[in-house]
Chains A and B, each alone.
Chain A
């Protein structure tokens, strides 16, 4: 990675690092976001960088003894592969990642590294970003990847009509503007910016964003931003052209997905992969439901699984030779209340629910010693701008008093809807909440709906428990879930003061100043009692002893380039 002209903020970041106001981890995180090579950032922070493959490659270095050949059999739910931009299961992306690639790669250490994009540079106000496309990247059809191809993808991700969750990411939303009109439901309509994506030359493009965005590199490595060839027509499974080292040879949804190493391009030439040596000859995904994956590994039917649920850890420990790997994340469960729906439109009711809940107890019950307790403001200690507010303390008497004031002297009946989209632990958390709030006179019933059903109603139920994925920056989830009118604002929370404070924080590049500003943002949200957010969850995976280089990833991205079979 390159450009000698570094971002205006970098010297300041360095100063802060030297004065000790910025932790090393924070420094690395921000320096890489602003375009500094991860290796340089690690060196500058005086931390031993993870051993990397060298050059500008985003992959870990080869492990000693790594050998080429063999196949990896992975147990996961084998899903359809329709359109990478509208993927809604991580499994779909896992099946696609060996074949299509991202512009940037978020490593297992949560640091962003350049992938199909070799470098990026932001203007001082973070509104203009110049992206350099990596040279020498070959498509499976023999063409070379260029800036036009990338621009085509970015424009597509910024299309409000596509129905892609990418549109919820700050970068692609900032490539659109308000039309001034509203739809029948009162939602402001947006259209793509005219000059949002500019191609400068064959390998350079520029993003002219409508507002400052800090997370461009981060957004370009999110799970739906796999880069497709401009000739792409869904479903991907019928016409898989990618830049990755593997291609799809068989897909049977609900059964298997087989990927094999690409040897020849479709026009008959030798395929040369830009990312160096990959070891596996074949990657096989076999369909096993979440609960069955550990058992399948125990029977020797697969070598690794997508995810090990916390309740199966004991089973996994009893499997001879199996390795349990884990990582802490910013994935969470938000038991959110709709602030404009009775009885939650009375803040005293929401505060009573929050006060009656015991977050540390729920975390302990569900994840034991793993995971981190959260404090109802949806910013995690892993976020660089996290401002530690005082933890929420359970206060049953206070909750009762609030209910009394709100006119529910004899208690109140509430119902929370949970879809277990991320596993049965969500239901366990809701049931623990139910038992806790009972003491304060809140009769909470837990309605469990199928995961697919939940996604039909997640923005509609007055009280619902939604799983939120890992996001690298604290401001990202806040902007997506709590800003007035945001697409994913499921609680309907709307507070001009909060919006203003959040915008201030987002436009403040200086991490310390930003952190200080986050205090207000977090405090408003916590005081508004919108969510009971008990914990940040850990991620566990399981692999047999034959598998090397398989790592747990905070966003559960399976990265198999350097995985090998012993």
Chain B
């Protein structure tokens, strides 16, 4: 296990280095420099500049420095724990990152809180009685919620719950400070899709296990059904869903972009979206590092859970 952690950590660092270098390279183009200039001066402003004045402006903003020099500078700063400053928002990237990650973590917490019990229960119930009426109802519902794109779910929920019934605010900007009600719509949007997906996976795993010979043996031995399910079926059936739940942590970081931008929730996804729109490179770089870290750590956790649930698997 320790070897695994060390190996994954090294992998993570290598990925971070490669990706940050690539990002820097992409942003070291004339196109990007122009994007930065447009973001600051506007299309009409930049059109008034002569070629010389434009170059002088780039020089003043430090955008004309050689690529490797800037990269080395950035690496050094990051190694000292300084993630830089957001050009657009005029705040330290670390502050921005901390706040937005905290907001997304809150959202993710409530997603998992709803997702795990609901999806596992429904999935197991459906998988236990394959072909039953209950299974049909659950499966069809799961197919429906996973077929609707999140953006459409978001619009539907807004129209019904916020604009129609007026139960919750239409947007989650939380201008008066944190409260749970504005969180309802993004939460439901994420949950509807995720529950459907996890239910289907759990159901599939459960049906497979229920059809296996050792379950038949257990039943034939005369064990009560709850014992067969709890002691024999569940542990094996949960391997896939648990892996998925851990990967969901990572998926959330990318999925939330749509939901957070739509509902204007100030989380990681919206920060990433704003930074990409503005060309705020320091923020993008830092966000990428975080995304990589989350991806690697969630994979590590899922591997650990996998070994725990399935002792036959050993990572070397």
Contacts and interface: CB of A to CB of B under 8 A. Distances in A.
Interface of A: 73, 80, 82, 86-89, 160-161, 163-165, 167-168, 183-185, 187, 189, 235, 237-238, 251-256, 284, 286-289, 292, 295-296, 298-302, 315, 421, 450, 452-456, 458-459, 487-488
Quick one: which of B90, B266, B270 has the most chain A CB within 10 A? B90
B47 A292 contact: no
A187 B53 CA distance: 12
A295 B162 CA distance: 9
B47 A255 contact: no
Interface in B14-47: 31, 34-35, 37-47
9 contacts: A80-B88, A86-B41, A86-B42, A88-B41, A189-B50, A287-B173, A295-B158, A296-B169, A459-B43
A168 B173 contact: no
Nearest to B168: A299
A287 B264 contact: yes
Contacts of A86: 40-42, 45
Contacts of B47: 168, 458-459, 487-488
Quick one: which of A86, A295, A302, A454 has the most chain B CB within 10 A? A295
A163 B34 contact: no
Nearest to B53: A161
Contact of A292 (B34, B44, B171, B277): B171
B308 interface: no
Given A160-B48, A455-B43, A80 B89 contact: yes
B44 A298 contact: no
Interface string B51-66: 1111011000000000
Nearest to A163: B41
A254 B279 CA distance: 15
A184 B278 CA distance: 28
A235 B278 CA distance: 17
Contacts of B50: 160, 183, 187, 189
A253 B88 contact: yes
B45 A88 contact: yes
Contacts of A164: 41, 45, 48
B270 to A, nearest CB: 8
Interface of B: 31, 34-35, 37-54, 56-57, 88-91, 158, 162-163, 166, 169-171, 173, 175, 264, 266, 270, 274, 277-279
A456 B274 CA distance: 17
A80 B38 CA distance: 14
Quick one: which of B35, B39, B45, B52 has the most chain A CB within 10 A? B45
A290 to B, nearest CB: 12
B175 A301 contact: yes
Contacts of B171: 288, 292, 295-296, 299, 301
Interface of B is mostly: helix
Contact of A286 (B34, B170, B173, B278): B173
B44 A168 contact: yes
Given A296-B170, A452-B278, A456-B31, A286 B45 contact: no
Given A168-B47, A454-B43, 14 more contacts: A80-B89, A160-B50, A165-B45, A184-B51, A254-B88, A254-B270, A286-B173, A287-B264, A289-B264, A295-B171, A301-B175, A452-B279, A455-B42, A458-B47
Contacts of A452: 35, 38-39, 277-279
A253 B275 CA distance: 12
B154 to A, nearest CB: 11
A278 to B, nearest CB: 23
A167 B48 contact: yes
Nearest to A291: B262
Contacts of B175: 73, 256, 284, 286, 301-302
Contacts of A455: 38, 42-43, 46
B56 A301 contact: no
Contacts of B89: 80, 252-254
Nearest to B32: A456
A456 B170 contact: no
Nearest to A87: B42
A392 to B, nearest CB: 27
Contact of A168 (B48, B158, B266, B274): B48
A155 B166 CA distance: 53
Contacts of B266: 254-255
A315 B162 CA distance: 13
Contacts of A288: 171, 173, 264
A251 B171 CA distance: 20
Contacts of B158: 295
B64 to A, nearest CB: 15
A453 B158 CA distance: 30
A48 B264 CA distance: 46
Contacts of B48: 160, 163-165, 167-168, 487-488
Contact of A301 (B42, B54, B169): B169
A167 B41 CA distance: 12
B53 A237 contact: no
